[in-house]
A and B are shown apart, each in its own frame.
Chain A
Amino acid sequence: MTPNTLLDVLTATPLFAVGLTLSAYLAGSRLFQRLKRPSWLPAILIASLLLAGALALLGLPYTTYQQDASWLTVLLGPATVALGMPLYQQLPRIAELWRPLTICLPVAASLAAFYALAIAWLLGSSDTILASIAAKSVTAPIAIGITEQLGGTAALLLGALLVTGVITIPFVSLAARLLHINDERLIGFALGLNGHAIGTVRAFEISPTAGAFASLGMSLTGIFTAVLLPLAWRLISMGS
């Protein structure tokens, strides 16, 4: 039983979970570079698969890992606050296009949540599932907060974020071709609004302008959804 006792000794400290997360993240990023940065397989997906594989191999229960990894995840709080800095830096751009953006953003951000919720509801998904996928187009640190408010599962939300972010990229190029759009500002904004951080990373590969508009779309969608979705949710559940 020596391997088990060694694992017990190592996992007695949260540093094991922290180290495991760091190694999976670094290995995932390395592999992503090696594979020539495929847009359909983001670095975070590779890293998460590696991490899940490692946990399964070691026989480490997810709840134990999650508890120990909270030494890292507690940093999500200040990291979300930190997003206020790029938001401030983009204020001039927001001012430039404030009129079309103020019309487009509330409609598009609401629909991003509404379409998926309506389809899932029609297909008979439970309330917990609806609450978990409602914030699917919002950047992760903000979306986790929203989902906690709605009573959803963080794990399912993050899975939904991953799927949404990855498929947004081909869908945006398809829609842009169908609608004859080649303005990088619009493509970037749509990538950030629908595909949060994963779409934004893609937009920066297109051009810096597309990237700037993607982070703008991502932050505005995040703020709009964070403020209005929990309120709307409360109203709807009171009504039903």
Chain B
Amino acid sequence: MPALSGFLWLISYWLIGEAVIHFTALPISSGVIGMLLLCATLAVRGRVPSSIAAAAQPLIGLLAMLIMPGVVGVFFIAGELAGQWTAILIALILGTLLSVMTTLWLLKRLIGQSSDP
């Protein structure tokens, strides 16, 4: 059962993340701490154990489904936010346009020149 032991590893790292937050009061989610710890462990070992790959790969593939119950919630809070939607949509759309422009402009200045055909 390699996937099962890989899954146990993932759960353990998440729980370690919870413990770290409990003791340090860091305002970060335990999933992120677990992710960084997992990455550091793999870097130290220099390879991905097949058990972890067997558990991580399918879980990553299912991410979209795991967030669906939350996404659906947006249709049920629509009423509560009445009158605020315009501001939210303008902020998201205009904000994203500005940040996309800035990102690409910065990247072009930093890396672009060397690789433009």
Contact = CB atoms under 8 A, between A and B. Distances in A.
Given A120-B87, A141-B66, A81 B31 contact: yes
Nearest to B107: A186
B106 interface: yes
A140 B104 CA distance: 23
A172 to B, nearest CB: 5
Contacts of A171: 96-97, 100-101
Interface residues of B, number: 75
A160 B69 CA distance: 15
A82 B10 contact: yes
Interface of A: 17, 21-22, 24-25, 43-44, 47-49, 51-52, 55, 62, 65-66, 69-70, 72-73, 75-89, 91, 97, 100, 103-104, 107-108, 111-112, 115-120, 123-126, 129, 133, 136-137, 140-142, 144-146, 148-149, 153-156, 158-160, 162-164, 167-168, 171-172, 175-176, 178-183, 185-187, 189-190, 193-194, 197, 222-223, 226-227, 230-231, 233-234
Interface of B: 7, 10-11, 13-14, 17, 27-32, 34-39, 42-43, 48, 52-53, 55-57, 59-60, 62-77, 81, 84, 86-108, 110-112, 115-117
